[in-house]
Amino acid sequence: MTVAARKVATRSVPALLTISALVLTLQMAVVVATGSMLVFLLQFPLANLALCALFARTAPTPKPLVADLAAEVAALRQPPSHSPGLDRFFQGATWLWAGIFALSAAGLAALMIVESARVFLLLTTAVTLGGTVAGTLLSALWFIRTLRRCGLRVRFTTA
């Protein structure tokens, strides 16, 4: 409902809101639809699979999701002149995150099969945190390298 209201009110929906709404809606639907512990636990790999699809869907487009997130979360603005290297970075980083979410989905699905519910829930936190930290570090290092190659610098401005 929040996504629809935002779309009607402003004609745009921030990427972070889209991601949050997708994950929370999927989790809520699974939890409400069943009282089964197995089905409840499926929400974790399914949410990662949905995020993988969301990132992969935007990666080959002119507006990859990582570029939108950089603009929304870090207020990162693109340089006034078009930079093909920066465009390639954002597309590649979006593919990177699609891959991270795909690996997380597969890993969590495998853990569901071999571990108890209690251990699975603990490992879910570790897998999610580990994937997020690794992806963030890789993305940041890759971004810095891309900026150097393109001869761009990050400037901090006051509003």
Tens-digit pLDDT profile for residues 9-65: 888 888 888 888 887 887 778 778 887 777 778 888 988 999 999 999 999 998 899
Tokens for 54, please give them.
């969301």
159 located within any domain: no
What is the number of residues in the chain? 159
The residue segments making up the domain with residue 117 are 2-150
80 domain-assigned? yes
Domains held by the chain: number:
1
| Tokens linked to 74 | 């870090």
Residue 82 has pLDDT above 80, yes or no: no
Is residue 140 packed enough to be buried (19+ CB in 10 Å), middle (13-18) or exposed (0-12)? exposed
Q: What pLDDT is stored for residue 55 in this prediction?
A: 96
Q: Residue 83 pLDDT more than 80?
A: no
Distance separating alpha carbons of residues 106 and 110, to the nearest angstrom: 6
Q: Residue 159: its pLDDT value, please?
A: 58
Alpha helix locations (H) across 11-154?
15-33, 37-58, 65-73, 84-114, 117-150
Task: Please tell me the distance from the alpha carbon of residue 97 to that of residue 87, in angstroms, as a whole number.
Answer: 16
109, 29 contact by CB (below 8 A): no
Residue 13 lies in a domain: yes
Residue 123 lies in a domain: yes
Asked, for residue 125, whether it belongs to a domain, the answer is yes
158 found inside a domain: no
Q: Is residue 155 part of a domain?
A: no
Tens digits of per-residue pLDDT, 129-149?
999 999 999 999 999 898 888
> For the packed helices 117-150 and 84-114, what is the interaxial angle rounded to 10 degrees?
170
* Residue pLDDT, tens place only, 97-127: 999 999 999 999 999 999 998 899 899 999 8
Supply the pLDDT for residue 80: 65
Flag whether 126 is in a domain. Answer: yes
Give one word for 11, left, alpha or beta, with left for phi > 0 and alpha for psi -120 to 50.
Answer: left
In degrees and rounded to multiples of 5, residue 12 shows phi and psi of: -145, 150
